[in-house]
């Protein structure tokens, strides 16, 4: 019998869904809402391979399932369309990135539509669309016009800060601001010029301009954020990255550090992902304290998590970049220190990483005084101290810190033990034991000692309890072309926002996409890149653009109200859809997108623009699909190939073979010979009639000939098979290689479904007879399993349940309408095209996507008897058929009376009989 005509069916229904706008979501509905979202893709030139749709298929199944359950489902798709690859391509070819991007998006949408996703395309967003980035710019303006008040623990409009400054100055202000910002009285503030007031406000704004140490990638001509750098190389392109001080726009994400950590507690995300975010934010609790400099008025402030070890401090260490270094170096030491600082600054990030174990440093010649003992302690410079963390200065406690210990050993500095315990010849850094040699801390456990030390520091005004975070403020500029322009112009040095009515600030045309000769970003090439301000004068506009993550930090709100020209998202729409109920995407965004999106959501919440402060309630990370390359073994130096299991008998070299020439690891020799001209004369040593290939799991790439596209699979088996097979591969979260072996099983299943509805000659064969108990049991088992499994987001097991059901119905030759109707609905989230076709053939009105999901009836699942396993002392002996409605007591009696059991007992009385109804009977002798 021939296969069902999936091509015809799938085209028909894809057209129909498009024409009828079947999956359009309603912004006001009496039904409960459900928002399912995929991380929108960057449309790369390579198109989708078979790994990309894994998460999309899962989310599509959930959204269709929720539709069947009577939810008003929002399931949109869009494109994260600004980004480096299109721009790199533009630099090489001169083609405008907008054109490349548009073409790639077309390709992506075409590929997606072939898979039959239930997207509401009317809500599509593209981050490079001016109608969209207008609002990205608008949110940036809000960030610029806001500051963070610690007492209220939220961001507030900058006007409120100005009012406070005018009335009472900044002395009582508890706000997040740049390190080292001076306090002003109201009088001082009011006397400042407009320029100086603006400069001062910049220290408080949520979006601010600052000289910061950045990751500079010379090859890409731009700065990169920490999560865009991997092991000292750029994530995109793998170019070397160095540290450099530059003036940059930054967002004050650090103000939200605590809330970003706390918020994780209530999210339904994997513990692994939460942990990654917690580590990235890197909260550490401790204290800051001042060490007076010997012979000077000033004090050096350090951060420590171990104030309990204060009496074990034997020296101090400064980061080479610390501003103290220059001030404290004595004339005798100047040459050595200068030399050291220069070397340290020349060492790239990569060198530092590869030389972790090298201990280096130099003495400044100066001393600080111990705040309690007044003992002088030498001040050293060492590159194990990071300028960017804490205060850039460390109180070194060699006895209880591994790095301080190594340093002390190398430079022969004293080591003083102040916590009892641990070995003598290494640092004891566990937070356990009692304080010794520590004056007022003696005898206290570490935990108490920390508290007591902070108490004393505060009482004597030497220091203060403090929490430090590893996370840095997010750099928000890229010296690139293909991104959102910042809506900022400059009056001299003072950045000002363009007027809201002039948004969007459209990305200008440029002649080339490269930086200018003088090293300015590409936008410097734009003609007339100036802003005509309200005073009628023209001012230069900001030449950097926003980073790739700007547009993706709020797109999930735009879907709620995608066409709104008046607001980024209306309050009504947001109040209705609230936040994303289920978000599916890769774990690689853990420290980038997922953190920034949470940050922006909290910010928008603070300003009262939305009413949720977490964007993604539940998050699932789909695993990566790796490639599975096929290898043919060539006998070295010949044109002769040997089947995989015989290769050890020869000296061979493996060769990548296009996976389309291989099925179940068997190479199609005809196709192989035609594949490349040099292989036309190839010889083969086969196993029987078959030539087997070996395989290797590696990244999917063209050069390895292991790329499988959804289009390939759809061509051969159809979209429904692709969808089901991707789910059947294993748990969604798990990474796994793509292996087309086994797809036949799913394809056969769908054909079996087709044959359930049709007779041997392909005619419609559904009958109206009433169903038998067996048939009812089979279908209700499937309802129960599919329902339960989808509820807990397991996608592989329901496919199995459907297979079992169809096998049983086939064996029963069941063609009964009421059974098959249910089956069709159960199937519809997985294989929507086939289900839709069968639904129509069944004469049902409307689309199967809106059919109510069936509920199972427990009474069909019960049987009158059950085969109980009977075990003696935990070992299985036999099975006995017993009535299901028997009480545990009756079962016990029946089992003990049975002849074989009497034989095992051999006259002995059992100590215990355990009956688990429906499960097992265990006799303990």
Partner RNA sequence: GCGGAUGUGGCGAAAUUGGUAGACGCACUAGACUUAGGAUCUAGCGCCGCGAGGCAUGGGGGUUCGAGUCCCUCCAUCCGCACCA
The sign of the dihedral angle between the CA atoms of 692, 698, 703, 706 is positive
**CA–CA dist 891, 921 (Å, integer):** 8
| Cβ(332)–Cβ(382) below 8 Å | no
Report the residue number, 258 or 613, with the smaller CB distance to RNA: 258
Helix H or strand E segment including 617: strand 616-621
Report the residue number, 386 or 842, with the smaller CB distance to RNA: 386
Residue owning tokens 């939220």: 154
Candidates 95, 294, 751, 774; binder of RNA (CB under 7 A) is 751
Considering only residues 279 to 298 of the shown chain, the ones binding RNA according to CB under 7 A are 279-280, 282, 284, 286
**CA–CA dist 845, 916 (Å, integer):** 47
**Does residue 236 touch RNA according to CB under 7 A?**
no
Piece of the chain touching RNA by CB under 7 A; list 498-506, 567-575, 801-809, 833-841: 801-809
Shortest separation between residue 166's beta carbon and RNA, angstroms: 37
Candidates 24, 342, 537, 748; binder of RNA (CB under 7 A) is 748
Binding mask 214-233 for RNA (x = CB under 7 A): ------------xx--x---
**CA–CA dist 868, 658 (Å, integer):** 53
**Does residue 823 touch RNA according to CB under 7 A?**
no
**672-to-681, 682, 701 alpha-carbon distances in Å:** 10, 9, 19
Candidates 225, 739, 778, 824; binder of RNA (CB under 7 A) is 739
Report the residue number, 375 or 813, with the smaller CB distance to RNA: 813
| Cβ(564)–Cβ(512) below 8 Å | no
**Does residue 826 touch RNA according to CB under 7 A?**
no
Piece of the chain touching RNA by CB under 7 A; list 238-246, 413-421, 749-757, 883-891: 749-757
Nearest to 322 by CA among 386, 405, 266, 256: 386
**Does residue 634 touch RNA according to CB under 7 A?**
no
Helix H or strand E segment including 677: none
Report the residue number, 488 or 587, with the smaller CB distance to RNA: 587
Binding mask 587-626 for RNA (x = CB under 7 A): x--xx-----------------------------------
Shortest separation between residue 806's beta carbon and RNA, angstroms: 8
Binding mask 552-591 for RNA (x = CB under 7 A): -----------------------------------x--xx
**CA–CA dist 173, 176 (Å, integer):** 9
**Does residue 726 touch RNA according to CB under 7 A?**
no
Range 343-351 contact pairs with CB under 8 angstroms and sequence separation of 24 or more: 344/320, 344/383, 345/320, 345/321, 347/383, 348/232, 348/240, 348/242, 348/243, 349/215, 349/229, 349/232, 349/241, 349/242, 349/243, 350/231, 350/232, 350/233, 350/240
**CA–CA dist 89, 86 (Å, integer):** 5
Report the residue number, 406 or 514, with the smaller CB distance to RNA: 406
> To 10 degrees, what angle do helices 773-791 and 817-827 make?
10
| Cβ(829)–Cβ(65) below 8 Å | yes
What the block records as the tokens of 534 is 């309200």
Candidates 728, 738, 754, 860; binder of RNA (CB under 7 A) is 728
Considering only residues 384 to 413 of the shown chain, the ones binding RNA according to CB under 7 A are 384-386, 389-392, 394-395, 397, 401, 403
Report the residue number, 305 or 516, with the smaller CB distance to RNA: 305
**Does residue 468 touch RNA according to CB under 7 A?**
yes
Strand partners, 435: 419
Considering only residues 865 to 894 of the shown chain, the ones binding RNA according to CB under 7 A are 867, 869, 871, 873-876, 879
Report the residue number, 384 or 529, with the smaller CB distance to RNA: 384
**CA–CA dist 520, 528 (Å, integer):** 15
Residue owning tokens 């021939």: 2
Shortest separation between residue 831's beta carbon and RNA, angstroms: 14
Q: Show Cβ contacts of residue 750 under 8 Å, excluding neighbours closer than 6 positions.
A: 4, 6, 718, 720, 721, 724, 831, 834
Report the residue number, 573 or 584, with the smaller CB distance to RNA: 584
> To 10 degrees, what angle do helices 158-168 and 194-202 make?
120
Shortest separation between residue 230's beta carbon and RNA, angstroms: 7
Candidates 303, 549, 568, 583; binder of RNA (CB under 7 A) is 303
**Does residue 855 touch RNA according to CB under 7 A?**
no
Candidates 105, 177, 289, 319; binder of RNA (CB under 7 A) is 319
**Does residue 444 touch RNA according to CB under 7 A?**
no
Nearest to 298 by CA among 369, 400, 383: 369
| Cβ(700)–Cβ(657) below 8 Å | no
Shortest separation between residue 707's beta carbon and RNA, angstroms: 18
Kind of pairing between the strands at 865-872 and 875-883: antiparallel
Candidates 106, 159, 195, 275; binder of RNA (CB under 7 A) is 275
Binding mask 514-553 for RNA (x = CB under 7 A): ----------------------------------------
**Does residue 180 touch RNA according to CB under 7 A?**
no
Considering only residues 767 to 796 of the shown chain, the ones binding RNA according to CB under 7 A are 785, 788-789, 792, 794, 796
Report the residue number, 417 or 525, with the smaller CB distance to RNA: 417
**CA–CA dist 826, 64 (Å, integer):** 11
Nearest to 723 by CA among 840, 828, 821: 828
User: Looking at residue 769, what DSSP letter applies?
Assistant: P
**Does residue 271 touch RNA according to CB under 7 A?**
yes
Candidates 716, 886, 892, 904; binder of RNA (CB under 7 A) is 716
Candidates 167, 342, 537, 919; binder of RNA (CB under 7 A) is 919
H helix intervals, 737-868: 743-757, 773-791, 796-811, 817-827, 832-841, 858-861
Shortest separation between residue 173's beta carbon and RNA, angstroms: 26
Considering only residues 352 to 391 of the shown chain, the ones binding RNA according to CB under 7 A are 352-353, 355-356, 358, 383-386, 389-391
Report the residue number, 525 or 856, with the smaller CB distance to RNA: 856
Shortest separation between residue 866's beta carbon and RNA, angstroms: 8
Q: Greatest CA separation found in the chain?
A: 110
| Cβ(495)–Cβ(531) below 8 Å | no
**CA–CA dist 459, 22 (Å, integer):** 69
Report the residue number, 11 or 871, with the smaller CB distance to RNA: 871
Piece of the chain touching RNA by CB under 7 A; list 104-112, 437-445, 475-483, 724-732: 724-732
Considering only residues 827 to 846 of the shown chain, the ones binding RNA according to CB under 7 A are none
Beta strands in 252-326 (DSSP E): 283-292, 299-304, 315-318
Piece of the chain touching RNA by CB under 7 A; list 53-61, 161-169, 700-708, 798-806: 798-806
Candidates 664, 683, 885, 890; binder of RNA (CB under 7 A) is 664
| Cβ(672)–Cβ(682) below 8 Å | yes
Report the residue number, 105 or 727, with the smaller CB distance to RNA: 727
Residue owning tokens 């995407």: 585
| Cβ(369)–Cβ(276) below 8 Å | no
Question: How many chain residues touch RNA (CB under 7 A)?
Answer: 91
**Does residue 804 touch RNA according to CB under 7 A?**
yes
Candidates 160, 218, 272, 767; binder of RNA (CB under 7 A) is 272
**CA–CA dist 220, 241 (Å, integer):** 9
**CA–CA dist 299, 213 (Å, integer):** 25
- Residue 606: how many other CB atoms lie within 10 Å: 24
**Does residue 803 touch RNA according to CB under 7 A?**
yes
H helix intervals, 73-193: 84-93, 97-115, 130-144, 158-168, 186-191
**Does residue 811 touch RNA according to CB under 7 A?**
yes
**CA–CA dist 75, 256 (Å, integer):** 30
**Does residue 168 touch RNA according to CB under 7 A?**
no
Shortest separation between residue 22's beta carbon and RNA, angstroms: 30
């Amino acid at each position: 019998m021939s296969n069902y005509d999936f091509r015809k069916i799938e085209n028909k229904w894809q057209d129909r869904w498009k024409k009828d706008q079947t999956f359009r979501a309603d912004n006001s509905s009496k039904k409960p809402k459900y928002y399912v979202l995929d991380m929108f893709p960057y449309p790369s030139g390579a198109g989708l391979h078979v790994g990309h749709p894994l998460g999309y298929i899962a989310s599509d199944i959930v959204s269709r399932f929720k539709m069947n359950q009577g939810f008003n489902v929002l399931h949109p798709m869009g494109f994260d369309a600004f980004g480096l690859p299109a721009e790199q391509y533009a630099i090489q070819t001169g083609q405008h990135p907008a054109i490349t991007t548009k073409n790639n998006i077309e390709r992506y949408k075409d590929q997606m539509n072939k898979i039959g996703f239930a997207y509401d395309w009317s809500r599509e967003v593209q981050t490079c669309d001016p109608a969209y980035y207008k609002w990205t710019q608008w949110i940036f303006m809000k960030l610029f016009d806001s500051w963070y008040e610690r007492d209220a623990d939220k961001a507030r409009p900058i006007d409120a800060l100005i009012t406070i400054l005018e009335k009472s100055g900044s002395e009582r202000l508890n706000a997040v601001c740049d390190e080292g910002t001076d306090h002003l009285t109201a009088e001082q503030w009011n006397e400042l010029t407009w320029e100086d007031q603006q400069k001062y406000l910049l220290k408080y704004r949520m979006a601010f301009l600052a000289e910061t140490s950045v990751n500079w990638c010379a090859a890409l001509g731009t700065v990169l954020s920490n999560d865009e750098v991997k092991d000292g190389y750029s994530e995109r392109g793998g170019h070397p990255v160095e540290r450099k001080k530059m003036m940059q726009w930054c967002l004050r994400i650090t103000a939200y550090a605590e809330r970003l950590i706390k918020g994780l507690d209530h999210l339904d995300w994997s513990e692994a992902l939460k942990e990654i975010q917690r580590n990235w934010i890197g909260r550490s609790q401790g204290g800051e304290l001042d060490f007076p400099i010997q012979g000077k008025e000033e004090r050096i402030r350090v951060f420590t998590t171990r104030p309990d070890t204060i009496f074990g401090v034997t020296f101090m260490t400064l980061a080479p970049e610390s501003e103290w270094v220059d001030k404290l170096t004595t004339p005798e030491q100047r040459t050595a220190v200068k030399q050291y600082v220069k070397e340290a600054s020349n060492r790239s990030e990569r060198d530092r990483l590869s030389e972790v174990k090298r201990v280096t440093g130099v003495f400044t010649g100066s001393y600080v005084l111990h705040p309690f003992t007044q003992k002088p302690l030498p001040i050293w410079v060492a590159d194990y101290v990071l300028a960017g963390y804490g205060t850039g200065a460390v109180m070194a406690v060699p006895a209880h810190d591994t790095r301080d210990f190594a340093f002390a050993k190398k430079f022969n500095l004293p080591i003083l033990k102040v916590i009892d315990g641990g070995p003598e010849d290494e640092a004891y850094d566990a937070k356990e034991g009692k304080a010794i040699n520590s004056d007022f801390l003696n005898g206290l456990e570490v935990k108490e000692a920390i508290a007591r030390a902070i108490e004393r520091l505060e009482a004597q005004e030497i220091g203060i309890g403090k929490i430090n975070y590893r996370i840095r403020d997010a750099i928000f500029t890229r010296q690139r072309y293909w991104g959102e322009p910042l809506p900022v112009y400059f009056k001299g040095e003072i950045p000002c926002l363009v007027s809201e009515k002039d948004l969007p600030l459209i990305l200008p045309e440029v002649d080339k996409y490269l930086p200018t000769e003088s090293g300015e970003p590409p936008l410097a090439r734009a003609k007339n890149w100036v802003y005509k301000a309200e005073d009628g004068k023209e001012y230069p506009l900001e030449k950097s653009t926003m980073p790739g993550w700007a547009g993706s930090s709020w797109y999930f709100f735009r879907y709620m109200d995608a066409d709104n020209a008046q607001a980024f998202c209306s309050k009504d729409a947001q109040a209705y859809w609230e936040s994303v109920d289920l978000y599916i995407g890769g774990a690689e965004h853990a420290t980038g997108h997922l953190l920034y999106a949470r940050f922006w959501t909290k910010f928008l919440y603070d300003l009262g623009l939305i009413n949720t402060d977490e964007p993604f309630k539940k998050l699932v990370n789909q695993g990566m699909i790796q490639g599975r390359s096929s290898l043919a073994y060539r006998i070295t130096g010949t044109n002769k190939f040997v089947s995989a299991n015989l290769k050890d008998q020869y000296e061979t070299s493996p060769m990548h073979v296009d996976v389309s020439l291989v099925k179940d690891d068997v190479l199609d020799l005809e196709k192989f010979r035609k594949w490349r001209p040099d292989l036309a004369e190839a010889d083969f040593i086969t196993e029987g009639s078959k030539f087997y290939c070996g395989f290797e799991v590696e990244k999917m790439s063209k050069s390895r000939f292991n790329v499988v596209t959804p289009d390939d699979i759809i061509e051969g088996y159809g979209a429904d098979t692709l969808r089901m097979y991707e789910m059947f591969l294993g748990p969604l979260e798990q990474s796994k290689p793509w292996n087309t072996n086994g797809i036949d099983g799913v394809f056969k299943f769908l054909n079996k479904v087709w044959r359930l509805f049709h007779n041997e000659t392909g005619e419609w064969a559904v009958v109206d007879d009433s169903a038998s108990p067996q048939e009812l049991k089979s279908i209700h088992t499937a309802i129960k399993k599919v329902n339960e499994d989808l509820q807990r987001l397991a996608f592989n097991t329901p496919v199995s349940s459907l297979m079992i059901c169809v096998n049983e119905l086939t064996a029963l030759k069941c063609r009964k309408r009421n059974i098959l109707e249910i089956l069709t609905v159960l199937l519809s989230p997985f294989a929507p095209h086939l289900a839709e076709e069968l639904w129509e053939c069944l004469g049902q009105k409307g689309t199967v996507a809106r059919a109510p999901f069936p509920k199972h009836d427990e009474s069909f699942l019960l049987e009158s008897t059950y085969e109980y396993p009977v075990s003696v002392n935990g070992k299985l002996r036999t099975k006995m058929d017993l009535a299901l409605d028997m009480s545990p007591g009756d079962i016990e009696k029946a089992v003990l009376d049975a002849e074989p059991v009497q034989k095992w007992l051999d006259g002995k009385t059992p100590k215990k009989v355990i009956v688990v109804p429906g499960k097992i009977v265990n006799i303990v002798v």
